[in-house]
Amino acid sequence: MEAYAAIIERQGGEFVLDTVSLEDPRDGEVLVKIAAAGMCHTDLTVRDQHFPTPLPAVLGHEGAGVVERVGRGVSTVKPGDKVVLSFSYCGTCPSCLKGHQAYCPSLFPLNFMGRRLDGSTPITRNGEDVNACFFGQSSFATYSIASENNCVKVADDAQLELLGPLGCGIQTGAGAILNSLQPAPGSSIAIFGVGSVGLSALMAAKSSGCLKIIAVDRNPARLEIARELGATDVIDASTTDAQEAIVAMTGGGADYAMDTTAMPQVLRSAVESTHNMGETAVVGGAKMGTEFILDMNNILFGRKLRGVIEGSSTPQVFIPQLIAMQKAGLFPFEKLCSFYDFDQINQAVEDTEKTGSAIKAILRM
């Protein structure tokens, strides 16, 4: 069948809209008619080849839509079901079987290599292969071939246009708090970088009962939004030494910190802004091979640093929880979202990356 897709053809290039051909779903696969897809920082890092997904490629990994067809063996979704698409995982390794799907050893080949594990791709253009299977979905298209593991069934009355970002960015920020750090009620946390991931973490921290929530960024507009969403304090890192300010305002350091920036010097500041036995989560996707430096004696005093992928979540469990929290008014992620028509994809990139006017851009198909 034919679909309309946004293709990155060269490193650093714009998205090119074109008609492509999709295979029928194979065993364990699902054909989804995409209603909307979020724009995530990871799409842009792959565009710039910080991760080696081969080009040309159809990206997009925060899709939501309606199941059109299913391949043999699919049992958890059926045609007509509304689904949110999340990351891909094998489902059979020890990590997956223990509920740690985000740490599946096959996570990188399944999500970033642009192919099925057998080397095939479900998308062609004019008879030539186009790399796809990005996060098991490649949802910058009107139709997507996803795996059953990618699909999270949601209610029939779900607002699909809003829900795609729950599959990655929003899940990542919220899950880093709710699943990984699990801050105690009354604790303090400093969040470095308040884009969509950081603001999702901030809302989750508020719902967890954190009493001191410190937002750090260089964008005054985003700091204002952070305050509206529950930050008790904001720090403009362009004018203030964030580490010194946090240590001072918390009487020795925050209980928790989180870095979303993927910048080594910011990560070090985050770690050193916590007190002895404080804990820091790092969620930003840096360029492959990026290294950072920490003072070993600083870590020796009980501090912890943990990496977090996809919010350490099981999507089929966590995404419905986030939807329920949003309905209850505890997680108003809709306040982060700006909507664009699919053919405005390059404008969405500019508003996300250059002007910062879009926190979470969502493309309507």
Q: Which two tokens stand for residue 210?
A: 């954190």
Answer whether CATH 3.40.630.30 is correct for domain 173-310.
no
Residue 14's pLDDT is 97
**Class of the 2-167+332-364 domain?**
alpha beta
Residues in Cβ contact with 159 at an 8 Å cutoff, skipping those fewer than 6 apart: none
Residue 154's pLDDT is 98
- In this structure, the number of other CB atoms found within 10 A of the CB of residue 185 comes to 8
CA distances from 82 to 2, 34, 130, 294, 316 (A): 21, 10, 27, 45, 13
Residues 316-364 have pLDDT tens digits of 999 999 999 999 999 999 999 999 999 999 999 999 998 889 999 999 9
Q: Which two tokens stand for residue 326?
A: 């949003």
Q: In the chain, list all ranges with CATH 3.90.180.10.
A: 2-167+332-364
C-alpha span between 183 and 210 (Å, rounded): 7
Q: Which of 26, 137, 133, 121 is nearest to 73 (CA)?
A: 26
Residues 65-112 have pLDDT tens digits of 999 999 999 999 999 999 999 999 999 999 999 999 999 999 999 999
Residue 287's pLDDT is 87
Q: In the chain, list all ranges with CATH 3.40.50.720.
A: 173-310
Residues in Cβ contact with 229 at an 8 Å cutoff, skipping those fewer than 6 apart: 199, 202, 203, 206, 332, 335
Asked, as a colleague might, if the bond just before 56 is cis with ω within 30 of 0, I would say yes
Contact call for residues 133 and 108 (beta carbons, < 8 A):
no
Residue 286's pLDDT is 86
Q: Tens of pLDDT along the chain (365 residues)? A: 999 999 999 999 999 999 999 999 999 999 999 999 999 999 999 999 999 899 999 999 999 999 999 999 999 999 999 999 999 999 999 999 999 999 999 999 999 999 999 999 999 999 999 999 999 999 999 999 999 999 999 999 999 999 999 999 999 999 999 999 999 999 999 999 999 999 999 999 999 999 999 999 999 999 999 999 999 999 999 999 999 999 999 999 999 999 999 999 999 999 999 999 999 999 988 888 999 999 999 999 999 999 999 999 999 999 999 999 999 999 999 999 999 999 999 999 999 998 889 999 999 99
Residue 41's pLDDT is 92
C-alpha span between 29 and 120 (Å, rounded): 14
- In this structure, the number of other CB atoms found within 10 A of the CB of residue 75 comes to 8
The pTM score is: 0.96
Contact call for residues 319 and 158 (beta carbons, < 8 A):
no
C-alpha span between 186 and 206 (Å, rounded): 10
